[in-house]
Structure 1
Amino acid sequence: MRVYHLSAECYPVAKVGGLGDVVGALPKYQNLAGLDAAVVLPHYDRKFVQENEFEVVFRASNRLGNRRQDFEIWKEKTNKLGFELYLIHIPGLLDRPEVYSYPDEREQFIAFQLSFLDWITWSQQTPDLIHCHDHHTGLVPFLLQHSALYRRLSKTPTVFTIHNGQYHGAFSWDQFYYLPEIDPSSTGLLDWSSGINPLASAVKCCNAYTAVSPSYLQELAGHSNGLEYLFFLERAKGSGIINGIDTEVWNPATDAALVANYTALTIDTEKQKNKQALCKRFGLQPELPLIAFIGRLVVEKGSDLLTDAFTDSLTEHAGHLNILVLGTGDKDVEQTLTLLEEKFPDSYRAYIGYNEDLAHLIYAGADFLLMPSRVEPCGLNQLYALRYGTMPVVHSTGGLKDTVVDVNEEEGYGICFSPNSVATISAAISRAKVLFENTTHLQLLRKRMMALDFSWNQSAKKYNQLYTSLIPKI
C-alpha cells in the first residue's frame, strides 16, 4: 500500500509543535508494519536539509494564480528517517528557513499542494491513499475530486488528520484565482462563513478524518473556532486515534541527553542523578519535589495562569518546593514568569527559549510535569513524561483526559484536575508535594508509568486498519 503523508512539518526536518513529531514518526512505524509510506514537505533551508544529501527527481512548472513558477521535487537519498522524504522546492517561495509567519504564507501552502498534485499526476503515479495533515494540506481532497487537472486521481482515497482544529487557514474569495480550474458547481465545498476554509473543505471532501484523540474528536463538535456544526454533520466519518511517541528517540535507557540512563529496574537510583544534575545547573535543591512546565507560553496551554499559580504554591510551600519552566511564547507571560525568579530565588527558575537536550533532561530529572492546557488535542509531553517515569499533572481535557488516569482511581498514575484555574492548579501542586513525600508509593507509581505502552506501534496499526477499510470502498 503506497501512502503519501502531506504536511507542513516533520521532525527532524522542520518542527514547530506536535504535528512535526507525529509526521516524523508515524510513517516510520507504518513502514515497519509493512506499508510503503512516504512524507512530502515544503523545502526549508534548515539544518537537516543543509547537512543531508538530496537528489532532484522531478522538475516542472505550473501556475499559481496569474504567474508561472518552476518547482522541483527533492528526495533524501538514504531514507535515514525510516521513510522516503520528498521536499517541494520553489525558488523564492518554498526555499526559506522558517515554517510559518511569512506574509505570503497562504501562497506558500497553496503552491505546495498544487505542486504535489501536479508531480504525482504528471509522473503517472497512482498512490493507494493520500494522508493530509492540518489545514496546510486541506485543499487536496477537494482538488482531487473537483479539478479536471487531477481527474486521473479522483478516486484516490484521502484521510485528513486534525492536529489542531482552532486553525483553519481560511482566506477570502478574492484569492480564489490562486486555485486551478475547478467545477463551478462545487465551490460550496470550499466555503464556510463566506470564505474559503481549507480545514472545513477537507472535512467535507475527505473519505475519513481523524482527530488525535477520542476526547478531542468529541470536543471539536463543541469547540472548533466556528466549525462546530460541520463536525456535528460529518461525525459519521470521524474517528479519534491517540498519537504515539517514537520510543527510539524517547528512551531513558539510551537517551544521550541524560546524565544517567535508566530503565524501570534502575529508576530508583538513576533518575535521581539526572535530578541532581538539573538542580545543580539551575541552583535548585534536589531533595525537594521538582515540578516542571515544558511548552509554548500561549493561552491554549494555560500559560497565563502559571505566574499566579506558582506564586501561590511557592508562598504556601515556602522552602519545600522547586519549580522549573522551559518555554517561549507570549512576551508578557515570558516577562512575568522571569520576574518570579527575583521573588523566589532559591526555589524557582525560568528558561525562556527552547532547548531539545534540556527538555530531555527535564523529563528525566523532574518529579512532576505540569500541563494546565485549555486545549490539548492529544498532547505528547505527558507521554514523554510517562516514558521517563515523571508524573503528569494535567487539566482533564482532550488527549490528556484519554492518557492520564488519576492516582485516586484504580491503576492510576497521574494527577488530574478540573476546571482549569489558578486555584485548581495550586491544589494539584499541593497533591504532588504530598505524594512526593510518600517515597515508596511514588517509586511504585513510576514503575507503573514506565510500563505503559504509548508507542506508535498501536497507533500505526489503527491508521493502517483505517486505510484498509477505505480502499475497497472507492
Structure 2
Amino acid sequence: DVERFMAFQIASLDWIAQWEHKPNVIHCHDHHTGLIPFMMGNCNDYSHLSYIPTVLTIHNAQYQGQFGWDKLHYLPAYDLRNSSKLDWSNSINPLASAIKCAWRVTTVSPSYLDEISYKANGLENLLAQERGKSFGILNGIDNEVWNPQKDPMLTKAFANRTVESGKKANKDALCDVFNLDKTKPLYTFIGRLVGEKGADLLPDIFWNALEQSEGQINILVLGSGDPAVEDRLNEITHYHAGKYNAYIGYNEALSHQIYAGADFLLMPSRVEPCGLNQMYALRYGTIPIVRRIGGLKDTVTDIGDGGFGICHDQTSVWDVGHAMGRAYDLYLDQKKVKEIRKFIMTLDHSWDRAAQQYIDLYQM
C-alpha cells in the first residue's frame, strides 16, 4: 500500500504541475493522499505549487498510513531539515503530516472533531495543536439516488403525503420475501458486520429482544463481514422463524427496499465519524435507533429531547436492548409515529448543504 499510495500522490501532482491554469485549492482525503500538502510545500519538484491552499478531510483518524524511514526514498527530493513535518512517533505518518501541513483540516462531522481530541490513535496532541484551523462539516447524501418518490428499486414509491401507504406496501413486500409478520414493528440493521459498527453484539441483542418481546417484533439484517458474526446471525433464523431473518451479503436494491419498508434502523456503532445510513433512513421515513457518537449525534435527536429518533449512550447489549424497547413503546403510539415520519422526510441532509459549507471554507 505504501508504494501504491505514494505512486498515486506523485502522479497526481505531476499531472497538476502540467496544467496551464492551476486549481484554486487542492482537497485531500485521509492518509491515502496525506503527503500531498507536504510535497507541495517542501519538495523541489512542486515548489511552484506551494502557493495553492490545501485542505485535508479526516474520515477516520484510526487509519494513518504510517511507514518506516527506510522508505524515505519514495518521496521526491526535499530539504531534509523539514523532515519533522513527516515524523510522528519515529515513523513517516501521512495523516499526521497532512494535519501539520494542510492549510485547513476538516472532519466529516462536528462531533467527530470533538471526539478525536481524545481518541485519535496517538494524534490527540497534534490535533489539539492544530484545532484553530480545524472544522467539522457533516457529509451529505445524494437526494436523487436516495429519493423515495422516484426510487425504481422500491415496490411502491412514495412522497411525504403518501408515506403511510408507501411504507406499508414496501414493508408488506419485505415480509412476504423474508417470512415476517406484517403487523409487527420491523427493526433492521444494514451494514458491515464488524466491531466498529457494534455488529459483534447484534446476535445477543437480537436474541434477547426476540425472547423478551414474545413474538411482538420482527428483525431483518442485511450485511456481511466477520464470518463468526455471520454464522451466529444465520443461526437465529432456526429458532425464530417468522420473526427474524438475515441476508448475508451485499444487495443494493434490497437496502433501498429495507430503508423504505422498515419501521426502525439500528446503528449501535462504536465508531461513526459521520454515518450515512441514518440519513438514508430519515429520507425514507424510517426512525433511527443510534448511539450518541460522531455524526449520529449530529443528525439524530432523541424523542425525549423533543426530537425524532431513539438514542443511547453505550454500545452494549443492555443499552441497545433498552433503546429497542423504547422504540416499541413509540410504535404503539401510531399517531406520534406518523408525525415523526412526515417530519423526518423533510430534513435536508443533501450535498447541497454540505457543499456550501466547503465553499465557505475554501474562501476563508
Per the TM superposition, whether the score is higher than 0.5 is yes
2:96 counterpart SS class? helix
Given residue 196 of structure 1, which amino acid in structure 2 is its aligned partner? I
In the other structure, the counterpart of 2:238 is 342
Distance 2:353 2:143 in 1: 12
In the other structure, the counterpart of 1:76 is none
Q: Cα deviations across residues 242-301 of structure 1 (Å, max 9, x unaligned)?
A: 111110110000001101000110001111100011111111111110000011111111
How far apart are residue 125 of structure 1 and its match? Answer: 4.0
Distance 1:268 1:436 in 2: 13
In the other structure, the counterpart of 1:253 is 149
Match status 1:153 vs 2:49: yes
Match status 1:420 vs 2:315: yes
More strand per residue = 1
How far apart are residue 333 of structure 1 and its match? Answer: 1.2
1:284 counterpart SS class? coil
Distance 1:318 1:185 in 2: 69
In the other structure, the counterpart of 1:467 is 362
Distance 1:366 1:183 in 2: 58
Given residue 114 of structure 2, which amino acid in structure 1 is its aligned partner? Q
Query: What are the equivalent positions in structure 2 for 1:20-99 lying under 5 Å apart?
Result: none
How far apart are residue 331 of structure 1 and its match? Answer: 1.4
Regions of 4+ moved over 3 Å: none
Distance 2:69 2:244 in 1: 50
Distance 1:208 1:311 in 2: 46
> TM-score, structure 1 length as denominator?
0.76
Match status 1:109 vs 2:5: yes
Match status 1:194 vs 2:194: no
Higher relative contact order (CA 8 A, sep 6+): 2
Given residue 80 of structure 2, which amino acid in structure 1 is its aligned partner? P
In the other structure, the counterpart of 1:230 is 126
How far apart are residue 319 of structure 1 and its match? Answer: 1.2
In the other structure, the counterpart of 1:438 is 333
Distance 1:342 1:434 in 2: 27
Distance 1:329 1:405 in 2: 29
Query: What are the equivalent positions in structure 2 for 1:351-430 lying under 5 Å apart?
Result: 351-410=247-306, 412-430=307-325
Distance 2:233 2:25 in 1: 46
Structure 1 counterpart of 2:167, from 261, 271, 291: 271
> TM-score, structure 2 length as denominator?
0.98
Given residue 447 of structure 1, which amino acid in structure 2 is its aligned partner? K
Query: What are the equivalent positions in structure 2 for 1:202-351 lying under 5 Å apart?
Result: 202-351=98-247
How far apart are residue 171 of structure 1 and its match? Answer: 1.0
Percentage identity across aligned positions? 52
Q: Cα deviations across residues 216-265 of structure 1 (Å, max 9, x unaligned)?
A: 00001111111111111111110001111110110000001101000110
1:408 counterpart SS class? helix
2:304 counterpart SS class? coil
In the other structure, the counterpart of 2:343 is 448
Given residue 302 of structure 1, which amino acid in structure 2 is its aligned partner? G
How far apart are residue 454 of structure 1 and its match? Answer: 1.0
Given residue 49 of structure 2, which amino acid in structure 1 is its aligned partner? L
Match status 1:457 vs 2:352: yes
2:220 counterpart SS class? strand
Q: Cα deviations across residues 131-159 of structure 1 (Å, max 9, x unaligned)?
A: 11111110100000000100110111001
Structure 1 counterpart of 2:77, from 181, 188, 191: 181
Distance 2:19 2:145 in 1: 35
How far apart are residue 311 of structure 1 and its match? Answer: 0.9
Given residue 463 of structure 1, which amino acid in structure 2 is its aligned partner? Y
Bigger Cα displacement from structure 2, 343-352 vs 150-159: 343-352
Q: Name structure 1 gaps, 5 residues minimum.
A: 1-104, 470-474
Given residue 189 of structure 1, which amino acid in structure 2 is its aligned partner? K
How far apart are residue 388 of structure 1 and its match? Answer: 0.3
Given residue 163 of structure 1, which amino acid in structure 2 is its aligned partner? H
Distance 1:401 1:446 in 2: 19
In the other structure, the counterpart of 1:129 is 25
Given residue 343 of structure 1, which amino acid in structure 2 is its aligned partner? Y
Distance 1:302 1:229 in 2: 27
In the other structure, the counterpart of 2:60 is 164
Distance 2:117 2:56 in 1: 16
Distance 2:53 2:361 in 1: 11
Q: Name structure 2 gaps, 5 residues minimum.
A: none
In the other structure, the counterpart of 1:91 is none
1:454 counterpart SS class? coil
Distance 2:76 2:67 in 1: 16
Superposed CA RMSD in Å reads: 0.9
1:250 counterpart SS class? coil
How far apart are residue 124 of structure 1 and its match? Answer: 3.7
Given residue 273 of structure 1, which amino acid in structure 2 is its aligned partner? A
